[in-house]
Structure 1
């Protein structure tokens, strides 16, 4: 790291740096607050989706105990045919947004399947949609957590390192320059006194 120069140009440079840091810190902190609020919202949304999945799982268990019957072939009853995920820019962070999920119900003859297969197909479709929604929400939360961590590190760098260090540098330079000015005055007075003494002799 470069040694601190104790002169007026260095004082001016440190002053400019301090003004820059103090100007950027509030906007960085605002960005951090926005990301933290969005992270909390994403965590609540994910928790809500988890509750929906658990509720649907219990509903299936209560309404369709006959799913335990392995003699009824339910393979290919429902499958995901398309997932469209968009992107949202939140204060410089790209976040996924689920736009659409398409689930196709496999063709089956109602006369050859039990009556409860219709309910099973509808519930399976809902579960597939919820699972995909949960994946996107989990990814969104993960990205927000990383963004909050990064912006918090930047805020701390400005707030706890750069600004205090720059203030300390400014203080050090000012003290040095003040001491130099005082020493110059003292030297000037001593020289003046010597000159006056030399003249009187």
Structure 2
């Protein structure tokens, strides 16, 4: 990215100001990027753990698969999921607070005696699946924010800061050359004037 500038002291002042802003912001952006990277890893690990937990829970029920044919799915349903949000490194992410289930009444006498633990098990599975979805969403949001932050770090570090430094160097050289030319011109004028004075005297 070529930085547009003019060869004068005002432009030099403005470029110095912009450079200072970026140099000051860069460490903060790097810290944010590192924090987001860590949070993305934590969310990914938690998602993988929940996947594993769900797989284990499901494989533990293979022997009782026949019993689930008797289960009435309408006995339990998700009524509501309470969600809050939390800021992590400046990024707002959803946090699952509580899952509220609605259970239908059923006859304890005419239903199989495994229905109550079956309902508890169904709730546990729903908790795992929903929590996993929340962590997957959290991971996606944080990763998107991390990518944007990485882009900004790279923009500052590899493009803008070197660009501003180069522009400042060019303006300083130009102003120094201009000052040297001015001094040289003044010396030449002074010598001419002295020669003229000497010639007229």
Q: TM over 0.5, yes or no?
A: yes
**RMSD, aligned α-carbons:** 1.9
CA contact (8 A) 2:3 2:164 kept: no
Which of 136, 139, 142 matches 2:137?
A: 139
Q: How many residues align?
A: 198
CA contact (8 A) 2:3 2:167 kept: no
Which consecutive segments of 4 or more residues in structure 1 shift more than 4 A? none
Unmatched 5+ stretches in structure 1:
none
Shift of 1:157: 1.7
1:23-172 to 2 correspondence within 5 Å? 23-62=24-63, 64-67=64-67, 69=69, 72-172=70-170
Shift of 1:179: 0.9
Distance 1:196 1:34 in 2: 71
**Aligned equivalent of 2:187:** 189
Q: 1:2 to 1:54 in 2, by over 3 A?
A: closer
Distance 1:198 1:142 in 2: 81
Shift of 1:86: 0.7
Q: Secondary structure at the match of 1:48?
A: helix
Q: 1:27 to 1:196 in 2, by over 3 A?
A: same
Q: 1:40 to 1:2 in 2, by over 3 A?
A: closer
Shift of 1:185: 1.9
Give the TM-score taking structure 1 as reference length. 0.89
Distance 2:68 2:95 in 1: 36
Deviates most, 47-56 or 97-106: 97-106
CA contact (8 A) 1:46 1:137 kept: yes
**Aligned equivalent of 2:198:** 200
CA contact (8 A) 2:71 2:115 kept: no
CA contact (8 A) 1:81 1:102 kept: yes
